[in-house]
Structure 1
Amino acid sequence: MTTTHFFFFFFLSFFIITTGATDFVRPIDRSLLGLNRKQKVSHFKFYWHDIQSGKNPTSISVVPPPMNKINTTSGFGLVNMIDNPLTLAPELTSKLVGRAQGFYASACQTEVDLLMAMNFAFIDGKYNGSSITILGRNSVFNKVREMPVIGGSGLFRFATGYAELRTHWFDLKTGDATVEYNVYVMHY
């Protein structure tokens, strides 16, 4: 080993020991992530369109409920993948502001309660390219439901908050629905 190699390894070892570079986690300066700024609270109102019928559904069943194994009217076990439009007004033809991408699953044997996991991926204005992540329980036949905002991306990094849902329209025959979302989110 040459003297140059020795000093290189000596300083590398000294650096690792003194900086803790081998630790699994280390504290960082909040300002490096933009966390020294004051949090904002924003209210978003849009309509979520779950379209299961027609030639171009935005919600498809990927796991049907196992009706032969469990006697239930709740659809327990059903899983749908979604890529649902988010619009400014209840009409599907109104301005598109984003898409709800994720899934919902029937998670209750006795009621129609869904476990929902989705990203609201925005495509409009200053929030274009940012998303809000929702994960929670949706008791679909309650007049008002609430689900937590668990995070986000882009302008919604470190986001928290909640969403209030109200069914605007539901077609029992097709399964199509339009739901009003009011999302209150704290973000930087």
Structure 2
Amino acid sequence: MVSPQATGLQVSVHGHPNADTLLLWHPAARTGSDAEEVAALASRIANRSGARVLVPRWSDGRDLLRSVRYARESSVHPPDQLSVVGYGDAGIAALSLALHQGRLGIGLTRVTCVDGGADLRDPISGQPLSDPAPGGEPDSTGPVPATAVDVVEGDSPAAAAWASERVEAWRDAGWSATLVPATQFTWRVRPSQ
């Protein structure tokens, strides 16, 4: 089901409305050209994990932030139980969202970065991803959030090294971070990817 938000952003919703919410940021949803394949992925995730999966059709970082607001406002669970999975530059945005959640006044259960890389920028800020500061956000005095962070290992040696380095940086800063082997990650638009 596709529902327009008040802002005009379209979001497809998969799974039971009372389930925990997972926000899926996929670059193929930007233009809608692969919308059916992304919808099929979202349905697979919803069916297998029992989550309510929201897929916004986004074009920039403002849309990503609007989708977070929509996910939080439309959830029947506490809004800070949101999980975000991002692919490519949206994966960088998911990691950045986790880093800056205190400043943004939100909480996240888990963020997952898929197909990230050193050459990608966060589409929300337009900046490269910074490493987390020990003890929390650079502009906060609070502790590191309880958000779990997953980085999926890339297929190339450079992408795999980047993912491993990111996980170590997050762990060094006190976060719960996991490196997910590419061979164990099945949430792809095309399962053969």
TM-score of the pair, normalised by structure 1: 0.25
Give the greater-gyration-radius structure (CA): 1
Structure with the higher strand share, 1 or 2:
1
TM-score of the pair, normalised by structure 2: 0.24
Structure with the higher helix share, 1 or 2:
2
